[in-house]
């Protein structure tokens, strides 16, 4: 019975370790994302915009939804 409990505990510890390592890697990947866009203002000057990290996902979603909205 003790061996069974130790095996379960060991499995749980390994799972938690892998899970939190994957979360850490995911956060690092999200932090490294940068989406760049440009647009012209009224004076025909080109302006550059950068959307880092989590903001980039909003831009990506907006770009993805544009074709659907136009129909």
- Residue 67 above 80 pLDDT? no
H or E stretch including 18? helix 2-32
- The domain spans of the chain are 1-32, 34-71
In angstroms, the CA 56 to CA 29 distance is 12
Q: Which residues, including other chains, have CB under 8 Å from residue 55's CB and lie 6 or more apart?
A: 35
pTM assigned to the model: 0.66
Q: What is the pLDDT of residues 17-52, one digit of tens each?
A: 999 999 999 999 999 999 999 888 778 888 999 999
């Amino acid at each position: 019975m003790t061996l069974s409990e130790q095996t379960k505990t060991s499995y749980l510890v390994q799972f938690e370790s892998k899970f939190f390592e994957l979360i850490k890697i995911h956060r690092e990947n999200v932090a490294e994302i940068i989406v760049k866009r440009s647009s012209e203002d009224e004076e025909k000057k080109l302006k550059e915009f950068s959307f880092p990290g989590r903001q980039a996902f909003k831009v990506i979603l907006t770009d993805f939804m544009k074709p659907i909205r136009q129909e």
